[in-house]
Structure 1
Amino acid sequence: MTTKSLILDGAQVADTIKAQLTKRIEQLADKGVIPCLATVIVGDDPASETYVRMKGNACKRIGIVSRRIQLAKDTTTTQLLDVIQQLNNDPLVHGILLQHPVPSHIDERAAFDTISIDKDVDGVTTLGFAQTAFGIGAFPSCTPAAIVAILDAYNISIEGKHAVVIGRSPILGKPVSLMLLNRNATVTICHSKTQHLDQIVKSADIVVAAVGRPKFVQGDWIKPGAVVMDAGYNKGNIGDVDYDACLRHASAITPVPAGVGPVTIAMLLKHTVDAAERTRIL
């Protein structure tokens, strides 16, 4: 007899986080502080336009000011760095988000690392990554933070578990591996060059799929009772795991959509409010 898998409802987790933020935003407003997230978008990439609009709407719904800075496609790296530095120096801005990707002629890493660590609410700076590694970062990358938040919301134990992370990007695979390690998981990081990937995944208590390929993780890779966190999003609302096949083996699994995605946005909002509270204290 098989036990029914627990569907990890990210939309519900996100709603809980946002409800808590609303109260904190009201308390800040009573002190004359309105949290503000500035989003910089370079060029006119349609997907970026959609993401920025979604984030802006999410801000407005709970009382965060969303300031959009639209720059032309031919903006130079120097010009972009100047804009970011102006936002760093603006006391009314608490968080800065540079929408990825930027045009190829721009030094994206230089742009990310120009963002003040105190306003790096998206967790993209080199310093922020280092702080996450040491377990002292205020603003870890939002998707890794969302994955951990979902596990915590459902009281899924991390300590002592074997977590296999598929993907090694600097804003997802690597930081989530470090965050799980800091919570006393034993972590294996896999990637495109990993041999016998299916066998490694079969040994996992927690699987984090962050590879950017639709239905990449197969159902027979999943150990019975494992927890599957699908951090992928591909065209057609398809994640990085074969959901129906993995559902038959997993004890708990995130759907796509309404899984990790909504909580990622909620963590961006939370970090912005955290930053506003920190500046109030300072």
Structure 2
Amino acid sequence: MSGKLEDLYRRWILDCVVDSVEAISKDFVQHPQQYRGATTSGLLEEFKARTGNDPLWPNKEQRAAIYGTLFGMADGDSDGENSGQFGEAASDVRRRATLYAERVFSSGEEMLRQAFRDSIETFQAYLETLKGPVVDRGDAQTTNIFDKAVAVLQDAGVAQRFGGLPPAPANWPTSRPYGGDGANLIEEIKRTLFVGPEYQLPRKRFLVMQRIATYGHGTIADVQSYKYDQSKGQKSTTDLITAAYSWATAILDSKRMNSNDGMHLGGDGSKPLENLSTLESRRNIGRNR
């Protein structure tokens, strides 16, 4: 069973889903003839009328304030820089997992595992301070609007408006396999209703955001329940390292997509990809200057 904090993190990363449906609701009012086959017209009317005016329908700025209180003010797919205590603690967990996963020699393996466990304890202690009414209220507010946004994007009549694409599938966007239909739909909505390259969201990038959301969700959940047991801690620690490393690599892939240095994610050989620990070390050196 998912906990509220990790669910909030996942919705934070995938907030573009709600943002897209807010834009659709405005388009629906202006061009109702484009949505004749929609079965969620009532929801779209609610989005237009209630978003920003009802505690259970927070607008983009209100959602940013909810998430910012918990996770900091950095972008959801950043690596914790300038994002407060959550970002710093989460980034350290990912960095320690990376150092362990990408180690070259086995001689320091136990020291690296211990360093990872130490970072987990720090992150765990911080997450414990977040539990309470702020999380409960934020979860209730963002769950309502997120779930309703997903329902709209699963409406074939709405999807038809955007190039006749299929709707988002059941259990999207939080369950694997992710599939491409939902990502294609988000890309087309952004292309159709949002002006400017900074608002575009290519399919490939949205799929990476789903990975960040999934692995971040899993890591946060596991950290909260983690308790090192000498007799069986080896397996549980390894599982958590795997989750945190997957989270780290997803974030790195997102950063590479944002960069203008010519790197590619597809492994086409145009430029070799640096390993994650090298990039983490470079960033930490820059911080200490």
Tell me the TM-score normalized by structure 1. Answer: 0.26
Name the structure with the higher helix share: 2
Name the structure with the higher strand share: 1
Tell me the TM-score normalized by structure 2. Answer: 0.26
